[in-house]
Structure 1
């Protein structure tokens, strides 16, 4: 069984062709799409985080709202840039959102992606320490975040507090038990995947990675996943890790699908991103039978337990729900990712 969710980048544009012309449109439609995806039987609603852009940014109000409006679906990010984050304040926000959702938060974090502005984290009040790179700073923030999520006391209490304190050192509140095991690291390289495994985080691998061997994207990504799992076993963690991959997958089942995506799905692409040679994975767009055969050959999807479908959010809630439904109905059962009987509607009070 494979969990299948969606990943939205949350774009908006004032263009008349856009179904999301404002930040309010994106936020409200994101909630509606999560509700629709849950009703279709999808497993996850994930949202990208970008700063200084007309895209989703601060994730926790959205995650809390989705958690309050849904009952079963996992809610998460892919990913939060830890260079911008105060780890303690973030732990409070994450704990609150997780409690509101009943423990359904799956929080993807990372060093982040290329930015809209130069060293944008400096505007948020953060700077690398002496001898540290911005990537080092992001990992340091992540380590502090993971540590406080354990729920252990570390802060000296005031002897004359406004309200009575429990005995001992104080921890970040609200604390949500189990959230520490539901943190994911977004990795673009084999080395950071191994680091994430040693740190006890789940792995998110997206539609691009460092080109480390010249092989096709899905082959390199599958090797990354296997290296991660090997490192996890060597670290001796008690639980089983989770691994997600992201893909653009469109089952062409009507004329609207063909008009949008019927021009061909292309292949891998090579580019330079943050001075790194990167390989970008192909999109998949075809009639369901052909699509099934194409996806059978994707090694990384086979290795992952979770698949995140990147959705064109500016095409609106109804069309994106259709995109998700088409994959769940016409593709997933044929590949053995799930049974048609797994498309059960959640009970609503």
Structure 2
């Protein structure tokens, strides 16, 4: 059994060919798609976060709105760039969204990917400390965030407060019990996956990672998951961690599907560079008739290793079409592979 959700980047463009022409369109359609996905029986509605781009950027208002409109589906991110975040303020936002959804928040965080502007986090008021680079700053923000999520008091109360205080040092409010176990780290390498395991975070692995061995993407990603689980066991955590992978998967069941994605099943991995220095491998997408698609997905070792699959959706094609894409996977593909 696997949990199956969708992951939306929330693109919008004023082009007349786009079904999402403004930020308002994307936000409202994201809520509607989460509601539709829940009705179809999907397990998760996840959203990417990119700053300075015509994409979704501030996740917590959106997640809170979805939490208020739905009752069962998990709501999450994949991922929030911790270079840009105030960890304490983020705890308040995350706690509120989690409480509104009655404990359904699955918060994916990470160092983030190359952004639209140079060192965009500087415009948000952050810069690496002495001896740090931006990645180390993101990990420092993360460690503060995880520590404060425990809900321990740390702030000295005012002796003459406006409102009465409970005894002792004060913690951040609202506090959401259990949220600490629903934090995920988006790892781009085996080493960062192992670091996430030691800190007790779940693992998100997307459609790209550092090219560490030259093997096909799905094999490298499966090795990353196995390294993560070994590090988790070595750290002595008592709960079972969760692992998600992302994929672009399209079952070609209609003429519209074939017009959009019918490329003859010849997709393959590709190699590129992140920040002009890190060699990365980008995983293939899948698009084929259901019978052939099932056989291709059987060979994907990383999907087999993961307990959660996030389907990246072409959000600019509109809510109805994306609901159709999700439904096809849930009804035509997942049962044949033993996922549902």
Q: TM-score, normalised by structure 2?
A: 0.99
CA distance in 2, matches of 1:288, 1:59: 34
Superposed CA deviations along residues 240-265 of structure 1, whole A, max 9, x for unmatched, are 00000000000000100000000234
Aligned to 2:305: 303
Aligned to 1:273: 274
Aligned to 1:264: 264
Aligned to 2:314: 312
Aligned to 1:35: 35
1:103-252 → structure 2 map (5 Å cutoff): 103-252=103-252
CA distance in 2, matches of 1:89, 1:128: 19
CA distance in 2, matches of 1:160, 1:136: 39
Per-residue deviation, 1:334: 0.1
Per-residue deviation, 1:273: 1.0
CA distance in 1, matches of 2:296, 2:188: 24
Per-residue deviation, 1:211: 0.1
* Cα RMSD for the two superposed structures: 0.5
CA distance in 2, matches of 1:201, 1:254: 40
Moved over 4 A (4+): none
Q: SS of 1:107's equivalent? A: strand
Aligned to 1:344: none
Unaligned runs of 5+ in 1: 339-349
Aligned to 1:76: 76
Q: SS of 1:24's equivalent? A: helix
CA distance in 2, matches of 1:98, 1:188: 26
How many residues get paired?
338
CA distance in 2, matches of 1:263, 1:285: 7
Per-residue deviation, 1:197: 0.1
CA distance in 2, matches of 1:174, 1:99: 8
Aligned to 1:336: 338
CA distance in 1, matches of 2:293, 2:333: 7
CA distance in 2, matches of 1:84, 1:283: 30
CA distance in 2, matches of 1:271, 1:12: 25
CA distance in 1, matches of 2:230, 2:156: 40
Q: SS of 2:162's equivalent? A: coil
